[in-house]
Amino acid sequence: SQKIEQNSEALNIQEGKTATLTCNYTNYSPAYLQWYRQDPGRGPVFLLLIRENEKEKRKERLKVTFDTTLKQSLFHITASQPADSATYLCALDLMDSSYKLIFGSGTRLLVRP
């Protein structure tokens, strides 16, 4: 069956450390993978996109990797801050002419001051 898996347990780290979140998928062949941030009571907000032929993408303190062999994406936040505390969702863009995104269930990140 098709699955997108993100760590269901919250990731709790100290301010200043690097947070690494994982997104694994099975039985999908996404052309693109997107990462979103969701704060309580709000809708998800787009952060970064990476294409299947890109190994790594950076934006300020954020870095995303995409390994189509392992069927995995890693999302890193360097020099983490308490304001980075939120739930982070990965989404697969299947590029199957449907234009729809399939989301993982998200991982909650808590950054302690």
Residues of this chain that interact with other proteins (CB under 8 A) are 31-32, 34, 36, 41-46, 49, 51, 89, 91, 93, 95, 98-106
> Which of residues 29 and 105 has its CB atom nearest to other proteins in the complex?
105
CB of 95 to other proteins, least distance (A): 5
CB of 49 to other proteins, least distance (A): 6
Residue 60 amino acid letter: E
> Which of residues 45 and 79 has its CB atom nearest to other proteins in the complex?
45
How far apart, in whole angstroms, are the C-alpha atoms of residue 109 and residue 85?
5
> Which of residues 14 and 53 has its CB atom nearest to other proteins in the complex?
53
50 CB burial (10 A radius; 0-12, 13-18, 19+): buried
How far apart, in whole angstroms, are the C-alpha atoms of residue 32 and residue 11?
25
How far apart, in whole angstroms, are the C-alpha atoms of residue 98 and residue 30?
12
CB of 98 to other proteins, least distance (A): 6
> Which of residues 84 and 93 has its CB atom nearest to other proteins in the complex?
93
CA–CA distances in Å: residue 2 to residues 28, 39, 42, 59, 92? 6, 27, 27, 30, 11
CB of 38 to other proteins, least distance (A): 9
